[in-house]
Structure 1
Amino acid sequence: MHLLNLGILAHVDAGKTSLTERLLHTVGVIDEIGSVDDGSTQTDSLALERQRGITIKSAVVSFAVDDVTVNLIDTPGHPDFIAEVERVLSVLDGAVLVISAVEGVQAQTRVLMRTLQRLRIPTLVFVNKIDRPGAQDERVLRNISARLTEAIVPMGGIDEPGTRDAHFTPFDARSLGPRLLDRLAERDDGLLAAYVDDERAVSYGRLRAALAEQTRRAVVHPVFFGSAVTGAGVPELIAGIKELLPAADSDPDGPVSGTVFKVERGPAGEKIAYARMFSGTVRTRDRLLMRGGEEGKVTAISVFDSGSDVRATEVAAGRIGKLWGLADIRIGDCLGMPRKGTAEHHFSPPTLETVVVPTSPADNGALHLALTQLAEQDPLIDLRHDEVRKEISVSLYGEVQKEVIQATLADEFGVAVTFRETTPLCVERPMGTGTAVEFNGKDPNPFLATVGLRIDPAPTGSGVEFRLEVELGSMPYAFFKAVEDTVREALGQGLNGWQVTGCTVTMTHCGYSPRQSHAHQGFDKSMSSTGADFRGLTPLVVMAALREAGTQVYEPMHRFRLELPADTLGAVLPLLARQRAVPRTTETHGTSCVLEGRVPVARVHELEQQLPALTRGEGELECAFDHYAPVAGGSAPDRPRTDLNPLDRKEYLLNVTRRVGG
């Protein structure tokens, strides 16, 4: 039996969930096809998904095609929930990218295809909605070739497009053979040599084998057409999934290695981890090594089979299982041996932030608990607690995600909330070099520790690197670790309150008071250094060095692509100027015009709102995070601090004293 973990990806409303339903019906898993509009689909199980008709959380369902068992993962299409897609990509063997035959390639389609290609995930393209008025195969193929990739192989054509009778007609060997030969010979020297010697000597069977081989290497992408509503083209797509996509690599007898891509809570509040196993076999009562060397004991397992999950005693390599008993598990955790590249981010992190405010102040505690549970399911929410103001901030991709969080808190936790204005998440970078040092036993240092640090600028995108210019054996390793951990924590809030990035921090001085005790008595920590001394002193040294270096605040910028009627360009350009958008290129194609450029993330939402009125509803805006740019003009925006404020020495020392109890 072969296993295949397959992702269904698309821009929102391309028909991805409807296609999942049709696949399950065609292979006999379900007797009746659910409707997204009616909220009766298999994979959109959340009440909020049924109400809104969109996928918010990834869902797994299984079916068999002859001797191939497919674990199909339905993913969200709305860009606000790209974090769900991020986690699923790491467990896929192949993907089906769904495109509407009417709308063609859309903004999210491009983002997804670029990522699938970068990760080299074998991908089939399914052009859906051929029964809709306006559907055209040749136009969509040109659209795919121009905006996604030229490495496509149409597997057939549409008859009677735009009607209820529209159907997909696969090319026969005579029609498909020359198309395959032209496309595949570009990437197969043996095939090209055979073609040059004698075109007739290249058999159709050899071409089909070469198509499967190149598809599995993700260098070509077969294109199928059909309709999830009528079922046209779906049997051919299923045959293509079986023939062209690779089976899961699996070694059930190897060392245990798996990735957790989803965490949910059961009826009793227990955590349930969805894990793709790459190697080894996990059995009930096994103890698994997790993040940070922690262990957890598996108390129950289920695997996916015939449209649902069923209890099992084990989950082997290649399969996806649900695991109970891992109380400390989090999304992204590796089980057993970590895989190379599992920590990589495929999409940009959230660039927006908002404060969540409970409608009733009495719900503060309940809100904290609810958001903590939501952050377990979506780590990129990234909670930020302000103990001084008793506020909680969350990171966001967009306004729709904010609405979903609000509805989830109300429906699942009974907590009504509002939100403050959404603001961009900026970063700080050091402008120069700064140094600071405080010595043990010398005023005004109240801590039994010596810490000296130098902060230097580093290349963009390098994060924070910690180095030593002192001997590692000059004091206990635990003290060095305390300094490094505290440096990283302190740089979470720079001079203006934003996370500091793009810098190298070097420890230049260190020192401590060795363990001492009074005669006939135990250890006296008032005379001996502890980790708390280094954790307490380091933020003061970090901020002093950062002050000397100086920092610049950078705001997130999106690259945009705007397609609009050419006669509306004159009305749109002033809007772009008001939103600080800078067009870099402008191209005119007949009656349409395409602008590409950069725009501050803070201005994207307003741009999206005003654009339809100026373009007769025909303007198509595509945005994606591009880079951080220095905040232009005026004073740099500040972010309220949530730490003990090491920028104010007196306030900081008072706060530290209170925290340790006087």
Structure 2
Amino acid sequence: MKQIVIGTVAHVDAGKTTLSEAMLYQTGETRQLGRVDKGDAFLDPDVLEKKRGITISSHQASFKTEASAITLLDTPGHVDFSNQTEQVLDVLDYAILVISATDGVQSNTRTLWRLLKQYQIPTFIFVNKMDANGTDKNQVLSDLKVSLSQGCIEFNTTNLASSYDEIALYNDNMFDKYMETGELADQDIQQMINQREVFPVYFGSALKLDGVNDFMSGLDRWCVEKKVPNDFKARVFKISHDDQGERLTWVRVMGGTLKNKAVLIDGQKANQLRIYNGAKFSISQEVNAGGVCAITGLTATYPGQGLGMAENSQPLTMQPVLNYALNLNGNDVKDCLFALRQLEDENPQLHVAWSTHLQEIHIQIMGEVQLEILQQNLLNQYQLNVSFGESSILYKETITKKVEAVGHFEPLRHYAEVHLLMEPAKLGSGITFDTNCSVDFLGNNFQQQVMTSLRAKEHLGVLTGFPITDMKITLISGRASIKHSVGGDFREATWRAVRQGLMMLKSSTDLQLLEPWYQFRLEIEQSHVGRAMNDVQMMNGLLDNSGMTIEGGMTVLTGTAPVAEMREYAQIVNNYTHGQGQFECSFAGYRPCHNTDDVLAKLEYDPVADLENTPDSVFCAHGAGYPVKWSDVPAAAHVDYINI
């Protein structure tokens, strides 16, 4: 039997979870057809999910068809939880994109489509709610071709041969074969689906079970089990906690076999291998390649982490863009930090930080719905009734020139010196770490301490105190003392080196402030075009090359603009179009800030006063340690400063 892992993705309210429920019901996995609106969906077991009628985190279920054992991962549809959806994509064989026939391709649909393309996930499309009045199959299919891909083709279960002409157009070899024989073999079509040349489209109504069996037959026919290596490899895609507080590491086994009690990371064993189906689970002694399970007993895992022979995933495309300060409302700061750290463990994109210079807890999130869920979780799970201040933009910092950074930590009976090469990297690449240091300068053990220290914290910039990104940091030299170097010395020296390098670049104006941008789509009447174009210009936005198109008698403007300028624009559009305009936006990544001077003046960040992130070093003379200002560290360093 083929073992396939499929994820369901969709814009919120398209019927994604309803389709999942229908497939489980039709295959006999559930005895009743769960409904999101009634709060009894098998795949939305969380109290808040039932209350709000949305999926907040991914959930696992399983069902069998005639030839396949399918593991289904139902993902969140709301854009505020899109980073949790992205975490799942890296472990999928196939994806099911659910489209509402009444709403068509929406803002988050486009975002999801870009992610599916980025991760190269073969995709099936189920057009839901075809039972609604006024739906037009041909119009929906045309919309899919224009908005997503010309390769979106209806796969008629009863007469697929009628679509062979169109399918063959998207692969030259298949076209030649079809012209010779007049047929396409199933394996040829399977190959084209796997190569994302065609995207099978099915129509139906999940709530009424219309078209669901045909769709599952299509999955059975066209999905192909991947070839897997014999060596063990797995990837973490989710962290959660069960009702008893047990930490769960969710993995997809991508090669070999995962055995119970196996040592996986830092000497930690897999205490249990849980196979979940909704909220319930069974315990297995082993999970073979292709399987998905939750592991107990691991404390240092994180989404995107590779286990065994698997490499770590690339940094997520979807990043938080808003920053909020927590109002304690009389609660103890330690209790709040503990609760938030546990929630951050489940969703690393939450980014919880203690601001020393402001004496505040800050969180970084995608949007207001995520904030409301977070506030409710703190109350329900930890009995912490907190609130949040006004949102602010989550900026980031990067460098535009390479620099050698030096950190030295030598109070009495301690010793460590670290030299790092910090280089600019391409936009959106995040931070990478490497080592190019001879063991003649620094032994392997101490080099490992440096690399661990680099990864142990989120490093902050010196312009604003926001995180640094898009750079490569390489250990190039250092020095230890056989007698005095102890645990923690290299952590101090490493962290000070990063900040020292940033301060060097600040003094030479080789730092750059980055801000989040939105990709937007604005649909308005022709009479409002002038106003809209002026608004985009005033918001420092840019129209796409296509600029302006006409769809269904309405003018469509697409482009990008800073989040700081555009986050309130939906209400403005609603007002000046009297509710007739449609505005959609999604995260488009970070770009150079459009008003750096204004932001720096408003934030008034003093990097030297941020004592938890000091750029200065500590040296020793005459039996006592003494501080050395960051600018004087290269001259005082014990290892020669390399001319890079």
TM-score relative to the length of structure 2: 0.85
SS of 1:365 mapped into structure 2: helix
Change over 3 Å in CA distance of 1:230–1:653 after alignment to 2:
farther
C-alpha contact (below 8 Å) 1:487/1:538 kept by paired residues = no
Aligned counterpart, 1:344:
314
Separation in 2, partners of 1:40, 1:359:
35
Specify the code of the residue in structure 2 equivalent to 1:4.
I
Aligned counterpart, 1:187:
171
Q: Structure 2 residue aligned with 1:546, among 478, 488, 505?
A: 505
Aligned-residue offset at 1:147 = 0.7
1:571-624 Cα shifts (integer Å, max 9, x gaps)? 434544554434342233462111122211123320123222223243132333
1:76-122 Cα shifts (integer Å, max 9, x gaps)? 11111012211211221111111011111111111212222332222
Aligned-residue offset at 1:463 = 4.8
C-alpha contact (below 8 Å) 2:409/2:617 kept by paired residues = no
Aligned counterpart, 1:612:
574
C-alpha contact (below 8 Å) 2:414/2:484 kept by paired residues = no
Specify the code of the residue in structure 2 equivalent to 1:299.
N
Separation in 2, partners of 1:533, 1:308:
45
Does 2:180 correspond to 1:211?
no
Aligned-residue offset at 1:445 = 13
Aligned counterpart, 1:275:
251
Does 2:596 correspond to 1:628?
no
Separation in 2, partners of 1:49, 1:623:
23
C-alpha contact (below 8 Å) 1:457/1:502 kept by paired residues = yes
Q: Structure 2 residue aligned with 1:289, among 264, 277, 280?
A: 264
1:608-655 Cα shifts (integer Å, max 9, x gaps)? 2322222324313233314412332643433756652535889x9789
C-alpha contact (below 8 Å) 1:437/1:453 kept by paired residues = yes
Does 2:384 correspond to 1:415?
yes
SS of 2:440 mapped into structure 1: helix
Deviates more, 1:56-65 or 1:609-618: 609-618
Does 2:577 correspond to 1:597?
no
Deviates more, 1:570-579 or 1:104-113: 570-579
Separation in 1, partners of 2:331, 2:130:
52
C-alpha contact (below 8 Å) 1:94/1:246 kept by paired residues = no
Q: Which runs of 5+ in 1 are unaligned?
A: 157-169, 516-522, 657-662
SS of 1:500 mapped into structure 2: coil
C-alpha contact (below 8 Å) 1:259/1:277 kept by paired residues = yes
Separation in 2, partners of 1:20, 1:607:
35
Select the structure of larger CA radius of gyration. 1
SS of 1:635 mapped into structure 2: helix
Deviates more, 1:27-36 or 1:91-100: 27-36
Q: Structure 2 residue aligned with 1:320, among 292, 298, 302?
A: 292
Aligned-residue offset at 1:481 = 5.4
Separation in 2, partners of 1:470, 1:27:
58
TM-score relative to the length of structure 1: 0.83
1:148-187 Cα shifts (integer Å, max 9, x gaps)? 000122124xxxxxxxxxxxxx552xxx424213322541
Change over 3 Å in CA distance of 1:303–1:578 after alignment to 2:
same
Change over 3 Å in CA distance of 1:275–1:146 after alignment to 2:
same
- Give runs of aligned pairs for residues 356-395 of structure 1, distance below 5 A: 356-362=326-332, 364-387=333-356, 389-395=358-364
Specify the code of the residue in structure 2 equivalent to 1:400.
V
Aligned counterpart, 2:49:
49
1:374-416 Cα shifts (integer Å, max 9, x gaps)? 1111111122122454422222111111111111111222111
- Give runs of aligned pairs for residues 103-122 of structure 1, distance below 5 A: 103-122=103-122
C-alpha contact (below 8 Å) 1:447/1:533 kept by paired residues = no
1:279-315 Cα shifts (integer Å, max 9, x gaps)? 222333x22222xxx1222222232569953233222
- Give runs of aligned pairs for residues 469-480 of structure 1, distance below 5 A: 472-478=439-445
Specify the code of the residue in structure 1 equivalent to 2:591.
Y
Separation in 1, partners of 2:72, 2:532:
43
Change over 3 Å in CA distance of 1:135–1:632 after alignment to 2:
same
Change over 3 Å in CA distance of 1:208–1:387 after alignment to 2:
same
Aligned-residue offset at 1:17 = 0.8
Aligned counterpart, 1:12:
12
C-alpha contact (below 8 Å) 2:83/2:318 kept by paired residues = no
Aligned-residue offset at 1:225 = 0.3
1:9-48 Cα shifts (integer Å, max 9, x gaps)? 1111101011111111111222221221111100011111
Deviates more, 1:275-284 or 1:501-510: 501-510
Change over 3 Å in CA distance of 1:603–1:646 after alignment to 2:
same
Aligned counterpart, 1:146:
146
Aligned-residue offset at 1:227 = 0.2
Does 2:525 correspond to 1:565?
yes
Query: Percent of aligned positions with the same letter in both sequences?
Result: 27
C-alpha contact (below 8 Å) 2:43/2:59 kept by paired residues = yes
Aligned counterpart, 2:637:
none
Change over 3 Å in CA distance of 1:578–1:261 after alignment to 2:
same
1:494-530 Cα shifts (integer Å, max 9, x gaps)? 2332333445667787556x44xxxxxxx5679x995
Aligned-residue offset at 1:132 = 0.9
Change over 3 Å in CA distance of 1:455–1:282 after alignment to 2:
closer
Separation in 1, partners of 2:91, 2:343:
22
C-alpha contact (below 8 Å) 1:450/1:510 kept by paired residues = yes
Aligned-residue offset at 1:532 = 6.5
Separation in 2, partners of 1:437, 1:209:
58
Separation in 2, partners of 1:347, 1:532:
29
Change over 3 Å in CA distance of 1:593–1:387 after alignment to 2:
same
Specify the code of the residue in structure 2 equivalent to 1:376.
D
Number of matched pairs: 613
Separation in 1, partners of 2:316, 2:404:
36
C-alpha contact (below 8 Å) 1:277/1:316 kept by paired residues = yes
C-alpha contact (below 8 Å) 1:43/1:61 kept by paired residues = yes
Separation in 1, partners of 2:283, 2:238:
18
1:53-90 Cα shifts (integer Å, max 9, x gaps)? 11101111111112421111111111110122112112
Aligned-residue offset at 1:458 = 5.1
Q: Which runs of 5+ in 2 are unaligned?
A: 619-624, 630-644
C-alpha contact (below 8 Å) 2:405/2:498 kept by paired residues = no
Separation in 2, partners of 1:50, 1:653:
59
Deviates more, 1:83-92 or 1:565-574: 565-574
Separation in 1, partners of 2:294, 2:401:
50
Q: Structure 2 residue aligned with 1:354, among 320, 324, 343?
A: 324
C-alpha contact (below 8 Å) 1:428/1:499 kept by paired residues = yes
Does 2:208 correspond to 1:239?
no
Aligned-residue offset at 1:537 = 5.5
Separation in 1, partners of 2:409, 2:125:
65
C-alpha contact (below 8 Å) 2:60/2:73 kept by paired residues = yes
C-alpha contact (below 8 Å) 2:541/2:560 kept by paired residues = yes
